Amino acid sequence: MDTKPPEGANTYRIAAIPGDGIGAEVVPAGLRMLEALAARAGFGLDIETFDWGSDYYRRTGLMMPEDGPARLKDFDAIYFGAVGATDIPDHVTLWGLRLAICQGLDQYANVRPTRLLPGIEGPLRGVTAAELDWVIVRENSEGEYSGQGGRTHRGLPEEIATEVSIFTRAGVTRIMRYAFALARSRPRKLLTVVTKSNAQRHGLVLWDEIAAEVAREFPDVTWDKMLVDAMTMRMVLKPATLDTIVATNLHADILSDLAAALAGSLGIAPTANLNPERHFPSMFEPIHGSAFDIVGKGIANPLGCFWSAVLMLDHLGEHAASARLMRAIERVTADKMLHPPDLGGSARTEEVTGAVVRAIWAENA
């Protein structure tokens, strides 16, 4: 796909990787939406789609070519769907594609905004949009998902498996700096550092110590520390006390599904895998997986994928287009007739996409 911009406007090279399951439904919807937005907002898109994922694996024995991350290096951004298939183990699909890209392109900051959008009722009684407005920052390069460990004595009674969590001073410092800076950029300047240093007395104690060190660089940010188990209660019972949240790879993975559910549905939740220094392209994707139970039915909610494009446009510096898209998404969520089944309605992917495209065009600004 190639959209010609007006003279003088920027053109962005985007690598699209729809992947598996509903990824192959929501990314095409996202590309259709982006084409309309580019035409309306006046920027160009040069999109190359990659057929990597489980079908590619069935053909080649690999989820993507070995030089996959290298082939992505010269793009401005990556727009990703989901991976996961019923006939291939999840650790093969996830590590073979998504995690290999995140680690290979050093996308160490995973950013997950969560808000109650207009027209969406979350499961928390009486909680308003103003009371549930969070950004979760997930450490995305090490911690529990460092990939270190191994198995020996396979199949024998003495079989051993280790899964080594790695916390490095460099890795923790950079994610803390990112999270404190993000908290400072938001009106409340409030950060909660999630930990489990009571039980995990090495890596997570280093995590806490570095949080306190970095906090001294950000005297205008109010911060507190919360054990991850207690954090699940606080998210449910006192959502308004939270704003920006930073957590390890595993903890934030779990907390962000909870956050998505509290904001109405996993189907709307977006994420950005960022290399903040821009040495490598960043990757934008809905947080959901391939959703075997609804694949092929035409009812996948594309809004998580669209909201991820909002984050992508912001990262590319197209702030006006990003804001226009967010307003279009909110106009659509405000109308319950346009809610897909995961939000309690009956709208199909196609209808939601068409409605967002119309909302993009309808606005005069």
Stretch that binds Mg ion, among 65-73, 132-140, 249-257, 324-332 (CB under 5 A): 249-257
Sheet of 270-274: strands edge to edge? 2-3, 44-49, 11-19, 77-82, 282-286, 270-274, 109-115, 133-139, 244-247, 190-195, 222-227
Q: Decide if residue 98 touches ligand NAI (CB under 6 A).
A: yes
d(CA 198, CA 206): 12
Give every CB contact of residue 237 below 8 A, 6+ residues apart in sequence.
none
Identify residues 214-253 at the interface with ligand NAI (CB under 6 A).
none
Residue 346 interacts with ligand NAI (CB under 6 A): yes or no: no
Cα–Cα distance, 234 to 230 (Å, whole number) = 6
CA nearest to 276, candidates 163, 156, 177: 177
CB of 286 to ligand NAI, least distance (A): 6
Based on the shown chain and the rule CB under 6 A, indicate whether residue 107 belongs to the binding site for ligand NAI.
Answer: no
Pick between residue 47 and residue 300 the one whose CB is nearest to ligand NAI: 300
For residue 355, which amino acid is it? A
State the nearest-atom distance from the C-beta of 78 to ligand NAI, in Å: 13
Which of 90, 121, 163, 363 lies at the binding interface for ligand NAI (CB under 6 A)?
90
253 is a contact residue toward Mg ion (CB under 5 A): yes
What span, in angstroms and rounded, lies between the C-alpha atoms of 286 and 260?
A: 11
Identify what 142 binds: Mg ion, ligand NAI, none; CB under 5 to 8 Å per kind.
none
Task: Give the nearer residue to ligand NAI in terms of CB position, either 191 or 260.
Answer: 260
Q: Does 339 bind ligand NAI (CB under 6 A)?
A: no
Single-letter code of the amino acid located at 273:
N
Query: Which partner in Mg ion, ligand NAI, none is near 253 (CB below 5 to 8 A by kind)?
Result: Mg ion
| Residues 258 to 277 in contact with ligand NAI, rule: CB under 6 A | 266-267
Nearer to Mg ion, 253 or 285 (CB): 253
82, 182, 204, 355: which one binds ligand NAI (CB under 6 A): 82
Q: Can you read off the two tokens belonging to residue 214?
A: 């970095």
Q: How many residues does the chain have?
A: 365
Q: Considering beta carbons, is residue 292 or 361 the nearer one to ligand NAI?
A: 292
Tell me if residue 80 falls in helix, strand or coil.
strand
Closest CB 287 distance from ligand NAI, rounded Å: 7
Closer residue to Mg ion (CB): 45 or 311: 311
CB contact set of 129 (below 8 Å; sequence gap of 6+): 115, 116, 117, 118
Contact indicator for 301, 267 with CB cutoff of 8 Å:
yes
What does DSSP say about strands 109-115 and 133-139: parallel, antiparallel, or unpaired? Answer: antiparallel
Question: Which residue from 41, 342, 357, 359 is in contact with ligand NAI, where contact means CB under 6 A?
Answer: 342
Site size for Mg ion (CB under 5 A):
1
Nearest-approach distance from CB 25 to ligand NAI, in angstroms: 8
Q: 82 is in the binding site of which of Mg ion, ligand NAI, none (Cβ under 5 to 8 A by kind)?
A: ligand NAI
Residue nearest to Mg ion (CB): 253
> Which parts of 22-41 interact with Mg ion (CB under 5 A)?
none
Helices (H), 142-248: 169-185, 203-215, 228-237
Residue 171 partner contact from Mg ion, ligand NAI, none using kind-dependent CB cut-offs of 5 to 8 Å: none
Do the Cβ atoms of 110 and 71 come closer than 8 Å? Answer: no
Q: Are 153 and 261 in contact (CB under 8 A)?
A: no
Provide the binding-site residues for ligand NAI, judged by CB under 6 A: 22, 82-84, 90, 94, 98, 266-267, 288-294, 300-301, 304, 342
Provide the binding-site residues for Mg ion, judged by CB under 5 A: 253
